[in-house]
Amino acid sequence: MNFEGINSVHLIGIGGIGMSALARWFRHEGYAVSGYDRTPSPLTDELVAEGMQISFEDKLETIPNVITDSPEKAMIIWTPAMPKESAQLNFFRDNGFQLKKRSEVLGMVTSSYYTIAVAGTHGKTTTSSMIAHMLKSAGKPVVAFLGGITQNYQSNLIIGGKKSKEPSLVVVEADEFDRSFLRLHPNEIVLTSADPDHLDIYGDEQHILDGFLEFVNLVDKKGRLYIQQHAAQRLGEGKLPKVATREYGLRSTGIGAENIQARSGSFVFDYLDGKQEIKGLELFIPGFHNVENALAAIAIALDHQISEEQIRKGISSFKGVKRRFEIHVNEGNQVFIDDYAHHPEEIRACLSSVRAMFPTKKLTVIFQPHLFTRTRDFAAGFSESLSLADSVILLDIYPARELPIEGVNAAMLLDGINTGHKELVAKEDLISHLDRTSPEVLVTLGAGDIDRLVPEIASWMKERLNRYVP
């Protein structure tokens, strides 16, 4: 490991999902861990409870003495999401501290272990979490750095498996944002999708395809590549690395699924890969896209000598990831599902699955667009995918790291939405609006702060159920 001489770690932006997973790993490895973030959150509360010192003021006096007293023994990890004028970040830069981006540190970790890296525009969080859960539940020594909070472990870091002389397997979510994934050292790669996104970083669709192609060619020459069928077509199969490659997809002739049944709280399917068939698998995180994610996880499990019985148990016991097709209410005639979908293809996948589960019910969607650039670049796609709903409620754009762009707003999506009812609603008016319209199946979508509304919406729907119990 490349951390000799380091005894303390300070993370700027520690409250981010990816950063907090690293913080937890360093804490588990015995380092003194501290950090700064702009605002407290349930996640930072958990980190403090786990023994980390966190401040929410960007001031030098909040930096722990263990960092400032021994700069040569400290590592500073920062995220590009932090503003360039950050007082702490500039102090560390100006005073010779060892600064590393999160992606660099993950690269250092993956260079020392057998690494399974999961990339893709969509599906990487669920797929990497599912792989890690299958390995852990089968007793394999595993460490997983994830981009979401798993429901099974209530964490974005998984460490587990039986004690073994085998070195740990590392499962890492490989993020294409800022080309971070190019710093990893993967032995195996899963590519779940390669649709255009992050055009503010890549410029155009061809450049993001080039980025994914560069990433898959990082795979170890003795390793394996698992690639979703449409992603393989988009990258160009002749450009893929000359390694053992397995293509998967719902209708793939390589690794595929048959006899898919959409139930009200699960999907049942058969796994086939030309050599092996596992019938009647039940996945309790619904969605056609999640069945496809499971295909990659099952293939990896089989290649790591996990038995059919262990796979069946791993699939049925996987509870999913928070905000990935998370069902909060499903009783009576009321359903409420929350999902992180913030790209047209993700929205299409989510709503198509909801339709299959509840074909006779009216579907209402609340969508908060994420980023001005993404809304501008994919406006037509957003309108088209949202049209799968019967009723669409739009919230204002969540800006995240961006400044407003003239003429770009949530209302610009309305004209292209072809559905019975559509309107723009302020967040503070949302509950009263729902009370008037009485949705049957309600889905919230978005990667911004829409998740803060989820508990209130769930409480409203449960109270409404109680109100009409005879």
What whole-number distance in Å separates Cα of residue 240 and Cα of residue 466? 56
Q: What is the mean pLDDT of the chain?
A: 93
Decide: 300 and 190 in contact? Cβ < 8 Å: yes
Place of tokens 């990659």: 296
Residue pair 383/367 in contact (Cβ under 8 Å)? The answer is: no
| Residue 362, pLDDT above cutoff 90 | yes
Token couple for 215: 């990433």
What's the pLDDT tens digit per position in 204-235? 888 899 999 999 999 999 999 999 999 999 99
Q: Is 126 annotated as a binding residue?
A: yes
Paired with 443 in beta bridges are 337, 365
121 annotated binding-site participant: yes
- Confidence class for position 150, pLDDT limits 50, 70, 90: very high
Stated as kind and residue range, the H or E segment containing 157 is: strand 157-160
Q: What pLDDT was estimated at residue 265? A: 87
Domains of the chain, start order: 8-101 (3.40.50.720), 113-317 (3.40.1190.10), 326-467 (3.90.190.20)
How many Å apart are CA 260 and CA 286, to the nearest integer?
11
245 is in an annotated binding site: no
- 263 pLDDT exceeds 60? yes
124 among the known binding-site residues?
Answer: yes
- Percentage of the chain exceeding pLDDT 70: 97
Which pLDDT score is estimated for 80? 78
Report pLDDT digits (tens) over 19-71: 999 999 999 999 999 999 988 988 999 999 999 999 999 999 999 999 999 99
DSSP string, 40-89: --HHHHHHHHTT-EEESS--GGGS-HHHHS-GGGEEEEE-TTS-TT-HHH
Q: What is the pLDDT of residue 1?
A: 59
Q: What local confidence, expressed as pLDDT, does residue 233 receive?
A: 94
Any binding-site annotation on 115?
no
